[in-house]
Amino acid sequence: MIHIDQIGYAPSKPKFFLSAKEADHFTVVDLATDQPVYTGTLSGPKEDVASGDTVYRGDFSSLRDPGSYKIKLSSGETSSPFTIASDVHQSAADAMLKAFYFQRCGCDLEPEHAGPYAHKACHLSDGVLYDDPTTTLPSAGGWHDAGDYGKYTVAAAKAVADLLLAYDLFPASFAHPIGIPESGSGMPDLLSEVRYELDWLQRMQQRDGAVFHKLTTRHFPPLNTMPEDDLGELVFSPVSYTATATFSAVMAMAARIYEPFDAAFAAACLKLAKLSFDWLTTHESYPSFTNPVGISTGEYGDRQSIDEAFWASAELYRTTREVTYHDALRKLASVKGFSLLSLGWADVGGYGTVAYLLSGRAGADDALYEDLLAAWVQEAQRIEACCQEDGYSVSLLPEQYIWGSMMVLMNQAMHLILADHFTGQEVFATRALDHLHYLFGRNPLGQSYVSGFGERPLMHPHHRPSVADGIDAPVPGLVSGGPNRNLQDPKAKETRSGQPPARCFIDHEDSYATNEITIYWNSPAVFVAAYAVSASQ
């Protein structure tokens, strides 16, 4: 097999493929003319620990002419077709963003925007409070979190943060419509789509500033259930410290980013962010969230909450420059035992660090700023060093092929892109593009982990609408969780036991541990693709 990005490469960026077989030479063939346009030799071999592969590398970076091509080895193998173009990843970036529209809850998805994936509005009833079923609250709106129909505050916060950061740093990548109901409104489509989620998140806040942890039915519906047919009672699970803190953080982000487009909405977001932060200051010992009795949907529990408070204080500081938030973040940053670099849904300290570094040196605590910048760069150097050792030029260690490994992959690519932004060291961003190429097929399985893109795209995600809608192909732009060495579902165990970590994947609807989708696996992929589009122009 020839392992290549099945979408393609930008003209000015590095281009290489990998082969499990040695060959004397390779040629790049123009699909339009069926003529060779480049000839080269392969380097290697190189051992890849995560997959068990021995790979050879063919570099064709000097080929810059736009067009459609394929690789032919002298030993006879032929690659998937691919494209060289300055906008080569734009369509994928658009689809991965529009995937959030297809996750919308509480509204009709009309054929005009959803095409064959149109369906009626779902989950329109009010939800009951877990500890007071006589009290009901409006619950419609927002995005379904994953392959199920739950809506979870901490998961939503990561997705919103990634998308708003993508817009903040690469607005030109989102300057055109993607075909959602709000297209043409004067607000970029990314911000319109995120606002749909922010409006729902605001319904999750109580009057005192505390935020409900999640809104779900009591149990997951069967896999072949369309959203409008999921009629179980909706329940607001109790508030949590982590939900309140991450809510405060993303509302502070929204206040800053939406202000040029809707000043009233931005002001409302800031008011809510401050209210939740005030609640945090008087509930520092609030117990961590666990699923209430009788609720079996996703827990999203987290026993460490200092990172969430650090993120909230950093975002509020960046937005307001108020000393109260600066003092809070400096105090929290000095606490040991949590990561200041992580970009997950549970470990969010990295978002606080990014907010502080993006605030700039003016008014900053010089020592803290330098410490955070040095730590960010040091981690980027570690990630880059892992790429040098890896046969497929990515940073995933064997033990990082876990549930949602493609999120880990994209998070680390985000880290590299941000390191390039802070330092101007382009090697970091170049390595980030290698991660994107892995996502779209330059990986041991030759699998594009994104639906609708590549010769071997994701086809059978663990995603209820994709199973129930009767359409062969899933919504385009969905990012799979990817290889998971822990094989926590029966289908993965049955088919992938004994395989190396990078091969522990099956494109099957029953494999929730390797092939589910979530909004916070899509969101870092949108960020990385937005960078790729921006950097290739």
239 pLDDT band, cuts 50/70/90, is very high
- C-alpha 155/C-alpha 475 separation (Å) is 21
Q: Taking a C-beta distance cutoff of 8 angstroms, is the pair 52, 503 a contact?
A: yes
Query: Across residues 24-49, what is the average pLDDT?
Result: 97
**Run of H or E residues at 132:** strand 132-137
Show the beta-strand stretches assigned E in 246-390: none
Strand order in the sheet with 132-137: 132-137, 127-129, 234-236, 214-217, 151-152
Domains, the chain, ranges and CATH? Answer: 1-85 (2.60.40.10), 90-445+515-536 (1.50.10.10)
Per the CB < 8 A criterion, the answer to whether 477 and 98 are in contact is: yes
Tell whether the model's pLDDT for residue 243 goes beyond 90: yes
Alpha helices in 103-186 (DSSP H): 111-114, 153-169
Q: Which residues are catalytic?
A: 148, 462, 507, 516
| Model confidence at 89: pLDDT above 90 | yes
For β-strands 82-84 and 8-9, DSSP reports them as parallel
Cβ contact 40:92 at 8 Å: no
- Please give the model's pTM, rounded to 2 decimal places: 0.98
Q: How far apart are CA 53 and CA 399, in angstroms?
A: 17
Q: Which helix (H) or strand (E) holds 47?
A: strand 42-48
CB 101 within 8 A of CB 145: no
Pairwise CA distance, residues 88 & 10, whole Å:
6
The answer to whether residue 537 scores a pLDDT higher than 90 is no
Q: Is 187 left (phi over 0), alpha (psi -120 to 50) or beta?
A: beta
SS percent in the chain: helix, strand, coil, step 5: 45, 15, 40
Under 8 Å CB-to-CB from 350, ≥6 apart: which residues? 339, 340, 341, 342, 343, 415
Q: Is residue 506 within 8 Å of 537, Cβ to Cβ?
A: no
Q: What is the C-alpha to C-alpha distance for residues 18 and 11, in angstroms, rounded to an integer?
A: 19
- Per-residue pLDDT of 448-479, as tens digits, reads 999 999 999 999 999 999 999 999 999 999 99
In tens, the pLDDT along 387-399 reads: 999 999 999 999 9
Quick: pLDDT tens for 422-454.
Answer: 999 999 999 999 999 999 999 999 999 999 999
**Percent of the chain predicted with pLDDT > 90:** 99
What is residue 39's three-state secondary structure?
Answer: strand
Between strands 211-212 and 239-240, the pairing is antiparallel
How far are the Cα atoms of 24, 55, 388, 390 from residue 41, in angstroms, in the given order?
6, 13, 20, 20
In the chain, the N- to C-terminal Cα span, in Å, equals 31
Does residue 264 have a pLDDT over 90? yes
For the residues of 198-262, what is the DSSP string, one character each? HHHHHHTB-TTS-EESEEEESSPPPTT--GGG--SPEEEPPEEHHHHHHHHHHHHHHHHHSTTT-
Cis bond upstream, residue 45 (ω within 30)? yes
What pLDDT is recorded for position 235?
Answer: 98
